[in-house]
Amino acid sequence: MAFLELQGLVKRYGEFSAVAECSLSVAKGEFVCLLGPSGCGKTTTLQMVAGFTPPTAGRVVLDGQDITGLKPSRRGLGIVFQSYALFPHMSVADNVAFGLEMRGVVAAERGKRVAQTLELVHLAPLAARFPKELSGGQRQRVALARALVISPPVLLLDEPMGALDAKLREEMQIELRALQHRVGITTVMVTHDQAEAMTLADRVVLMNKGRVEQVARPFEMYEQPNGRFSSTFLGKANVFEGRHEGQGVLVGDVCLPCLADAPRGPVDYIVRPERLVFAATGALVRGRVSARVFLGNHWLFQVETPLGTLQATQVNAGLPAVAEGDEVGLAWAAEQARVVARGA
């Protein structure tokens, strides 16, 4: 059963729809990521749930109760904003205790809960430090502890790792995932980083231009993107516009293989770079390698073909790869392609 429900949320600023329509059911204990490009309405959606932005239309329902009209403070949600700020003149412990103090929790109980929460985010030894004496990742964890300490029913995170470098970000993602599992707290997190969404989310909500494009588990969304936008935002993809009349998908005058139950008529034909293989015989299309990039564990190739520029990747197995300028054939199996009706 849904624990948190966003029912037809809309936010308009004059003529402009920041969020054109967002409906979503989040189960208790679930970790959901709102993913999408800059300006697609992620923060606006989260702020409507938090209560800082009143929706133009729609409702927010928490545990069966309509909270759309409640003030943020009455919702009791744990929030880490996109640009979070710690109180610079307060120690780590005092920063975390602040929310409890505001709620009138007595000192003894406060001390206990702050200690527990700092333990949870591995910051207990740094309780007496001030924000300026912390690294970016540590500050981020203080912000997280501050949101968690009030034991909120829902945790709302807006790009909580935006300020971190790639390595620290990865570490924090793993920590956050483990923490969320331990505490079992229902979490809605905003990110524009697809790898972060795949790492953390039970389900990804992919947004584009104020609308929800697709909601799915990460593996499902990667394997079954519902169109061009999903396939190229989550992972890389070769996408061709073609027609499916029954014998395969015709792209220009090249016929590409697809499963018999693929939708008929105008379609987007989607195939991921790692599903393409170099084929001496039985090639579906031939072309010339125009670029080759070494990425350590794999190679990335660009191949100029009658279908356009294709991207192909190959695992680096320690063998020499095809070179720039080489003429190559490319092949893939029908079941490796995803065929989606276009303009539906």
Ligand X SMILES: Nc1ncnc2c1ncn2[C@@H]1O[C@H](COP(=O)(O)OP(=O)(O)OP(=O)(O)O)[C@@H](O)[C@H]1O
Residues in touch with ligand X (CB under 6 A): 13, 18, 36, 38-44, 192
CA 310 to chain centre: 25
Q: How far is the CB of 91 from ligand X (least distance, A)?
A: 30
Residue 38 binding result from Mg ion, ligand X, none, given CB thresholds of 5 to 8 Å by partner type: ligand X
E-only strand ranges, 53-117: 57-62, 65-66, 78-80
Q: What is the DSSP string of 228-250?
A: HHHHHHSS--EEEEEEESSSSEE
Residue 18 binding result from ligand X, Mg ion, none, given CB thresholds of 5 to 8 Å by partner type: ligand X
Q: How far apart are CA 160 and CA 80, in angstroms?
A: 6
Nearest to 148 by CA among 117, 110, 179: 117
| Nearer residue to Mg ion within complex by CB, 43 or 231 | 43
Q: How far is the CB of 140 from Mg ion (least distance, A)?
A: 16
Residue 257 binding result from Mg ion, ligand X, none, given CB thresholds of 5 to 8 Å by partner type: none
Q: How far is the CB of 168 from Mg ion (least distance, A)?
A: 20
Q: What are phi and psi of 49, to 5 degrees?
A: -70, -40
232, 305 contact by CB (below 8 A): no
Interstrand relation of 2-13 and 238-244 (parallel, antiparallel or unpaired)? unpaired
| Nearer residue to Mg ion within complex by CB, 43 or 173 | 43
| Nearer residue to Mg ion within complex by CB, 43 or 53 | 43
Judge residue 282's burial from the number of C-beta atoms within 10 Å of its C-beta, 0-12 exposed, 13-18 middle, 19 or more buried.
exposed
Q: What is the separation, in whole angstroms, between the first and last Cα of the chain?
A: 30
Q: How far apart are CA 224 and CA 108, in angstroms?
A: 52
Q: How far is the CB of 194 from Mg ion (least distance, A)?
A: 15
Consecutive H or E run containing 106: none
Q: How far is the CB of 31 from Mg ion (least distance, A)?
A: 18
Q: How far is the CB of 332 from Mg ion (least distance, A)?
A: 37
| Nearer residue to ligand X within complex by CB, 16 or 219 | 16
| Positions that interact with Mg ion (CB under 5 A) | 43
| Nearer residue to ligand X within complex by CB, 41 or 99 | 41
| Nearer residue to ligand X within complex by CB, 12 or 298 | 12
